[in-house]
Amino acid sequence: MKNNELSKKNIKKNLENEFIARKIYYFSEIDSTNKYAAKLAKNGEKEGTLVIAEKQNQGKGRKNRLWHSPAGTGLWFSLILKPNIKVTESHFLTINASLAVYKALKNLGLNIDIKWPNDILYKNKKLCGILSEMSANTKKLNYAITGIGLNVNQKHFENDIKDKATSIYKIKKQEVSRLALLQNILVNFENYYKKFLNGEKDKLLDEWKSKIALLGKFINVKSDGKVYEGKAIDIAKDGRLMLLNKNNEIIKFWAGDASIKY
Ligand code: BTN
């Protein structure tokens, strides 16, 4: 099992990335890898640095939710990114991450969907959540932390999430190597990120859109305490979901909880 366990040395082994995960901080337990990565980034840590933990006791989810991160079963990690981009382009960091995870999961033969804006689902249950957090001034991004939580070998979930969450183990009925999966995601991430830095944003957006289940469907979007209904017609270049309502108005959302009606 040793060769297969998550450790700095094993993660680096045969990983030919240029900058993603060239430097690694590994913890057996931490509050939140996003939180730690933000501290490092603020103190000048370089781009691409990976912070990973076996267990988080304050894993951060979206909307201040707690992200369940038990020991030894999932992948809980964050990447420090310092691209020279405008704040309005920062959603691409999440897009790159979801494409990287999507590709790695497809590689395992899983039939998954990307849920706008940042989840990966299997049959409507959450397999992976992504949380990008930024520090920016009015125009420019100082740094971003892209955090990925992927349920890999959990056999059970706690009561409060057991109807909403799933793991690769639950789908495939067998354990998979977290190490191999992580390395695959890190390689994919660097490839997508390089495309982004090369200006191939339209291509990335098209690839991402082609994997989003709710496009073309009638949906509900919960946003700012209200529920909006309509057809999900597109995702704009800035990452906003475009909803056509019954009055023929187009409403755009930066984020929200979307669910398919039919
Ligand atoms: C979501 O709510 O869907 C986003 C969940 C993101 C969880 C990951 S786990 C690794 C990283 N560190 C954190 O504290 N959160 C992210």
pLDDT of 63 reads: 85
pLDDT of 118 reads: 86
Q: Is 244 a residue whose pLDDT tops 70?
A: yes
Report how far residue 186's alpha carbon sits from residue 104's, in angstroms, rounded to the nearest whole number: 9
The binding-site residues of ligand 1, defined as CB within 6 angstroms of any ligand atom, are 32-34, 56, 59-62, 65, 67, 69, 76-78, 119, 129-131, 147-149
pLDDT band at 2 (very low <50, low <70, confident <90, very high): low
250 alpha carbon – ligand 1 mean position (Å): 31
Give the mutation target among 64, 69, 81, 131 for probing the ligand 1 site: most ligand atoms within 8 A of CB: 131
* 2-209 CATH pick, 3.40.605.10, 3.30.930.10, 3.30.1360.70, 3.40.720.10: 3.30.930.10
pLDDT of 22 reads: 97
pLDDT of 80-98, one tens digit each? 999 999 888 999 999 999 9
Q: Is 1 a residue whose pLDDT tops 60?
A: no
pLDDT of 145 reads: 98
245 alpha carbon – ligand 1 mean position (Å): 32
pLDDT of 112-144, one tens digit each? 999 998 899 999 999 999 999 999 988 789 999
H-helix or E-strand spanning residue 10: helix 8-12
pLDDT of 257 reads: 87
Nearest CA among 129, 121, 123 for reference residue 67 = 129
Residue 63 makes CB contacts below 8 A (sequence gap 6+) with none
pLDDT of 224 reads: 87
| pLDDT > 90 in the chain, percent | 88
pLDDT band at 168 (very low <50, low <70, confident <90, very high): very high
Give the mutation target among 25, 76, 145 for probing the ligand 1 site: most ligand atoms within 8 A of CB: 76
Q: Parse the chain into domains and list their residue ranges.
A: 2-209, 218-260
pLDDT of 171-186, one tens digit each? 999 999 999 999 999 9
Q: Ligand 1 atom closest to Cα of 31? A: 14
pLDDT of 96 reads: 97
Q: Ligand 1 atom closest to Cα of 53? A: 10
Q: Which CATH topology does 218-260 take?
A: SH3 type barrels. (2.30.30)
